[in-house]
C-alpha cells in the first residue's frame, strides 16, 4: 500500500503532462472602432478634424479622403508646410506613414492658427486643444489638435486610444 500511493501519484503526473493544454493562448486582434462623425464642415479646420478622426479609427481610405478635401480648400502656394504632408497622406495607403505625416501637418496647422491665418481659421470657431502623446514616434512624443478636450489618439488609434494629455488651448 505504501508503494501504491506514490506510483498512482507519479502516474497521474505523467498522464497530466502528456495531455495537450485545453486552452491555447491566442493573441487578440485590436478591434478598431469608427470615430468618424457623420459629417464635417467644409473648412480646412473641419477637414483636419475629419482626418484626425479617420486616423483614430485607423481608416486609411477615410484619412485619404479627408486629406483631399482639406487640400481642396487651401491656397497651395501660400501653405506649402501644410500641403506637403497632406499630399503624402493622399498618396499613401500605409497607416503608419499617414500618422507620421499627420504629425507634420498638425505642427504646420498649429503655426497657421497661431498666426491667425484667415484661410485656416473660420469665423467663430471653437477653441482647439493641443494634445500630446509622449509615446508617439518611439517615445519622441507628438502633438495634434482636437476640438474636444478628451483625448482620442490619432497616432495609435484603439491600440492606445486615450494615451495623451491636453497641453494647451488655441
Does the residue 27 lie in any domain? no
Does the residue 130 lie in any domain? yes
Does the residue 106 lie in any domain? yes
pLDDT at 10: 47
pLDDT at 120: 75
Does the residue 111 lie in any domain? yes
pLDDT at 40: 93
The pTM score is 0.80
Does the residue 13 lie in any domain? no
Per-residue b or e along 82-98, where b marks 16 or more CB atoms closer than 10 Å to that residue's CB: bbebbebbbebeeeeeb
Q: Give the mean model confidence (pLDDT) for residues 26-46.
A: 80
How do residues 78-132 score in pLDDT, each as one tens digit? 899 999 999 999 999 999 999 999 999 999 999 988 888 877 766 557 789 999 9
Provide the domain limits for residue 72.
38-169
What is the count of structural domains for the chain? 1
Q: Sign of dihedral through CA atoms 106, 111, 116, 120?
A: negative
Does the residue 73 lie in any domain? yes
Amino acid at each position: 500500500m505504501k508503494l501504491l500511493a506514490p506510483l498512482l501519484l507519479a502516474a497521474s503526473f505523467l498522464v497530466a503532462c502528456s495531455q495537450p493544454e485545453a486552452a491555447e493562448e491566442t493573441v487578440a486582434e485590436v478591434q478598431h472602432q469608427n470615430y468618424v462623425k457623420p459629417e464635417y464642415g467644409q473648412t480646412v479646420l473641419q477637414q483636419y478634424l475629419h482626418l484626425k478622426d479617420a486616423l483614430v479609427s485607423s481608416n486609411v481610405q477615410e484619412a485619404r479622403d479627408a486629406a483631399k478635401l482639406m487640400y481642396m480648400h487651401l491656397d497651395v502656394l501660400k501653405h506649402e508646410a501644410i500641403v506637403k504632408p497632406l499630399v503624402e497622406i493622399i498618396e499613401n495607403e500605409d497607416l503608419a506613414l499617414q500618422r507620421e505625416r499627420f504629425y507634420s501637418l498638425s505642427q504646420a496647422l498649429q503655426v497657421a492658427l497661431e498666426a491667425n491665418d484667415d484661410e485656416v481659421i473660420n469665423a467663430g470657431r471653437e477653441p482647439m486643444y493641443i494634445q500630446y502623446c509622449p509615446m508617439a514616434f518611439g517615445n519622441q512624443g507628438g502633438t495634434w489638435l482636437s476640438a474636444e478636450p478628451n483625448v482620442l489618439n490619432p497616432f495609435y488609434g484603439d491600440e492606445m486610444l486615450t494615451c495623451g494629455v491636453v497641453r494647451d488651448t488655441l
